[in-house]
């Protein structure tokens, strides 16, 4: 049974960096803000622009209307595609309804889509490593549905039947666990030695960096709190990485979800945030922890990030300053 931390022990917070917003998320949120400023409300957005409850709620309050499918958007209106990307079928549906499309797909997701199309044109069977029903996976599968099979774990690999083992390639969802993906890829290579791979890793830089930071802090803490929403894949992976290292970890939307029993047995609490979580939520959590007696605050930077993505054509960056800032950008 876990014991409470000694009353006289100095309790602290280790704040990880990098954390929070990645370049693709910053770009996607800016796209919605700029569109609202340039064209006025309402602006329709297909699915959540990024997987964070607070971000979506604030953009909704500003005039964005989030829909599950395009038939909910009136004909001829303006719609934004989320950072997770869409399939060609969705693009065709938008064209059929004469919708004015602004594409906020993360460029790193677009890279995976392009890989899928290239492999399919060469007649390859494409093994997509990812999580079923995730928005990103849905879009990627749609690029070459007749040529792509989805695997979620090593067991799925063992059950694969490939028509031509000499023509097989793999791609991945961008927000996976690095360690879990390595195991899956290794098993694929054992079964299909001639399998081709992407030119560069599909798992995005931000996902990797945040997981590397979590691994580095595991020996220094006895609790990790990850700020992020439950439907955020990269946030959930951070929790898993920490738990695999033998340290308790929990995903919270904000400080109000922290449970007293988690803190009662902790001396050093590490804090990070998924790639779609705003920095103000992190700072609120840190302030809460300090009020609970975790007064020794230190920031631990593992890797520096300076990635930036350009906006889609037709959007005026200067329009961004016309809106009152909503969600604060993350420490980089």
- Domain boundaries along the sequence of the chain: 11-21+205-301, 23-106, 108-191
- What is the average per-residue pLDDT within 188-200? 97
Peptide bond into 72 cis (omega under 30): no
Give the phi and the psi of residue 203 in degrees, each rounded to 5: -60, 130
Fold of 11-21+205-301: Cobalt-precorrin-4 Transmethylase; domain 1 (3.40.1010)
Query: Which CATH code is given to the segment(s) 108-191?
Result: 3.40.1010.20
pLDDT grade for 321, boundaries at 50, 70 and 90: confident
Going from the C-alpha of 3 to that of each of 56, 163, 217, the distances in angstroms are: 39, 56, 21
Fold of 23-106: Rossmann fold (3.40.50)
Q: Do domains 11-21+205-301 and 23-106 have the same CATH topology?
A: no
143 Cα distance to chain centroid: 20
Among 28-37, 188-197, 317-326, which is the least confidently predicted range?
317-326
pLDDT grade for 9, boundaries at 50, 70 and 90: low
Contact 124, 168 (CB under 8 A): yes
Provide the pLDDT for residue 1: 38
Contact 10, 322 (CB under 8 A): no
Each residue of 261-320: pLDDT tens digit?
999 999 999 999 999 999 999 999 999 999 999 999 999 999 999 999 999 999 999 988
Each residue of 155-186: pLDDT tens digit?
999 999 999 999 999 999 999 999 999 999 99
Provide the pLDDT for residue 322: 66
- Decide if pLDDT at 201 tops 90: yes
Helices assigned H by DSSP within the chain: 23-39, 53-62, 88-96, 107-121, 135-141, 154-158, 178-191, 205-217, 233-244, 260-264, 279-291
Q: Which tops the pLDDT comparison, 325 or 298? A: 298
As annotated, the active-site residues are 136
- What is the average per-residue pLDDT within 8-21? 91
């Amino acid at each position: 049974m876990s014991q409470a931390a000694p009353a006289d022990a100095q309790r602290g917070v280790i704040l990880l960096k990098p954390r929070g917003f990645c370049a693709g998320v910053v770009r996607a949120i800016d796209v919605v803000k700029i569109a609202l400023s340039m064209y006025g409300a309402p602006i329709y957005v297909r699915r959540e622009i990024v997987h964070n409850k607070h971000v979506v709620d604030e953009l909704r309050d500003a005039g964005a209307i989030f829909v599950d499918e395009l038939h909910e958007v009136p004909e001829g209106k303006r719609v934004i595609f989320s950072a997770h990307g869409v399939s060609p079928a969705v693009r065709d549906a938008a064209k059929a309804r004469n919708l004015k499309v602004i594409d906020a797909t993360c460029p790193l997701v677009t890279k995976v889509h392009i890989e899928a199309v290239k492999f399919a044109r060469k007649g390859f069977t494409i093994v997509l490593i990812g999580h079923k029903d995730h928005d990103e996976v849905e879009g990627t599968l749609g690029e070459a549905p007749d040529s792509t099979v989805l695997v979620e774990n090593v067991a799925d690999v063992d059950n694969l039947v490939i028509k031509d083992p000499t023509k097989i390639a793999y791609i991945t969802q961008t927000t996976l666990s690095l360690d879990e993906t390595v195991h899956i890829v290794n098993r694929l290579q054992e079964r299909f030695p001639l399998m081709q791979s992407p030119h560069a890793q599909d798992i995005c830089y931000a996902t990797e960096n945040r997981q590397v930071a979590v691994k580095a802090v595991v020996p220094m803490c006895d609790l990790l709190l990850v700020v992020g929403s439950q439907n955020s894949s990269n946030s959930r992976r951070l929790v898993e990485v920490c738990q695999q290292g033998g340290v308790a970890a929990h995903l919270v939307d904000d400080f109000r979800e922290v449970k007293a029993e988690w803190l009662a047995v902790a001396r050093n609490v590490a804090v990070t945030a998924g790639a779609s979580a705003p920095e103000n939520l992190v700072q609120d959590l840190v302030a809460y922890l300090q009020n609970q007696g975790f007064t020794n605050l230190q920031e631990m930077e593992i890797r520096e990030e300076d990635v930036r993505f350009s906006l889609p054509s037709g959007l005026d960056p200067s329009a961004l300053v016309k809106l009152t800032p909503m969600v604060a950008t993350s420490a980089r």
